[in-house]
Structures are given as structure tokens and as C-alpha cells.
Homo-oligomer: A and B are copies of this chain.
Amino acid sequence: MTEWELRNTRDGYAEALLELGEKDPRIVVLDADLAKSTQTEKFKLRFPERFVDCGVAEQNLMATAAGLAATGKIVFASTFAIFATGRAYDQVRNTIAYSDLNVKICASHGGITVGEDGSSHQALEDITLMRAVPRMKVVVPADYFEAREAVKAVAYLDGPAYVRLGRPKVPVLFGEDYRFRFGKALVMRPGRDVTVIACGYLLHKALLAAEELSGEGIEAEVINLHTVKPLDREGLLESAARTGRVVTCEEHTVHGGVGSAVAELLAEEMPLPMRMVGIRDRFGTSGAAEELVEHYGLGARHIAEAARRLCHGDNGGKPRR
């Protein structure tokens, strides 16, 4: 197996913030006593006059961000994903999004891979929550470079956006020259037998699964769904139409998340057999990131198994009774 370079998505975020801050005086960054973890501290050190720490007060963080944006700022608001989306949901919904303001919520510690801190810190519903908010864009970068470029891209999209960043280091899949195309699903590996849709931490797992499957003669098309909302309907349907089977992968609940988004699309446009790799109505728990990926059935082998079952026709497509 290849040795992958490992880097943080939040470092990509910090890097993007520095670049943005350098050339655009409208960029302002807020945090809620987690500047070291979210990495906004780097921006704070460089541009202290454009950084505000709101303390442990996520509701105020978000509504303050809205007010700042109303004065023409492009505001990045950061904290852990669970608090950004859950603790401040009403502020995000009613003050930021309903006012259609330029607040970019870039939250770290999305997903089960938060690890040892356990359930109260593992955001497993943040994608669901942000997807439910009208006007909200939702992006889940898979590596350092994608995070960096995605952040730069959303900075200049109108209105609110949510970017989900992770805690652990993840394999570097892209390079310096990576061009992030907001809203456009990216085929990472073409295939004809099954479409595997993944984002964030699980994209790498999906690629590993595809390798494993390839050895068995199953060619999986791996799609990087970095933009979960708006969904690239065209791109996904095109691939699904070719393969006839879909697996979705997320370190997140399947209720309302990526799997759900794809299921909504397919159900209305192109009903096809599907499997969702994700977390099913369970809270998180303490453990090492990779251990938890295994524990919750989110590993490469689980993805491969889901695809395998679909391809071997395990009631795929046909009504059970």
C-alpha cells in the first residue's frame, strides 16, 4: 500500500484564512474559545484587529457574525462542528441564513473521528442540520488542499456556507494545483459497476475500498461529493445511470446526511439500489479515531462489503416481497 502524506483539513483552513486576510480587508474571523483547535489562531496572530474571540458562547458567536456581515464583512465563524451547528442552530437559521448574510461557518471536529473526547464532542448530525437550513451551502473537504481551496471558494459565494473540517490528520489526496469546483461532484476514479459517493474522511476509505473491489473484478466509480449542498444532481445521476448501483459513505448519521441527500435524489429521479455506509441512530463514544471508524462500520472493508452486496444482487433493485 502507498504511504500517504498526512495533513489536517483545519490547517488548510488556516492557510486559506491567511491568504484571504492578506488580500481582502473585509475578511473577519470569529471563534468561541477554540482558536487553537480550529486553527483560527493563526489568523488572529497575523490580523489581530480582524479577529474576535467570543468566548464560550456559540449563540453569540453566530449572531455577532451576522451583525458583522451586515456591515459588509466576510465573516468566518469557527468552533467545533457540534456547537456551531447544534448549539447555535437557531442563530444560524434565523439570523444568518434568513438574513442571507456572508457568514462562512467553518467548523472543525466534524464526525466520529473526533475520537477520545467522546459523544458530546462528536458532531454526527451537523451535515443534516446545515442541509436543512435554506440558503445554506454545505461543503465537506477531504484533505488539506481541498479544505484550503474550498474555503477560498466559499468566501466569495454569496450568502451563508458551512464547511466541515475534521480533527485528525488525513491522507493528502490532492496537490498544490488542485482546483476546487464548488457544487461539482468530482470523479476520483472511474468505474462501471457501482458508484461510491464519499466525502471528507471517508473519501480515502472509499478509494481503498475501490482498490480492494477492483481485485475482485468489481470496478467502483468513486465520487468525491465535497459539495453536499447544493447537490450535483447532474453529475450523480450521470454516474448512477451508468453503474446502476450506489453506495454512500459518511462519518455521520444516515438520517438526513449524505446518504439521505442521495436517496432523495435517486428516489425522485432514478430509483436504484443503494447502500448507505454511515452511523445509524447511535451516539458516538470515546476511542481512537481509526478504532471508531471500524467500530461504527465505516472502514474501507465496510464500504467494499456494501458495494459487493449490491453488485452480487443481494436483493438489489428488486422488491423484497
Contacts and interface: CB of A to CB of B under 8 A. Distances in A.
Contacts of A270: 318-320
A320 B271 contact: no
Nearest to A100: B283
Interface residues of A, number: 56
A6 to B, nearest CB: 30
Interface string A73-106: 0000000001100110110011001100000000
Given A98-B119, A254-B264, A276-B268, A241 B320 contact: yes
A251 interface: no
A269 B261 CA distance: 16
Interface stretch (A125-133, A167-175, A204-212): A125-133
Interface of A: 82-83, 86-87, 89-90, 93-94, 97-98, 119-120, 125, 128-129, 131-135, 229, 237-238, 240-241, 246, 253-256, 259-264, 266-276, 281-283, 315, 317-321
- Per CB-CB distance, the 8 closest pairs between chain A and chain B, nearest first, are A256-B256, A271-B271, A267-B274, A125-B132, A263-B267, A87-B90, A263-B263, A86-B90
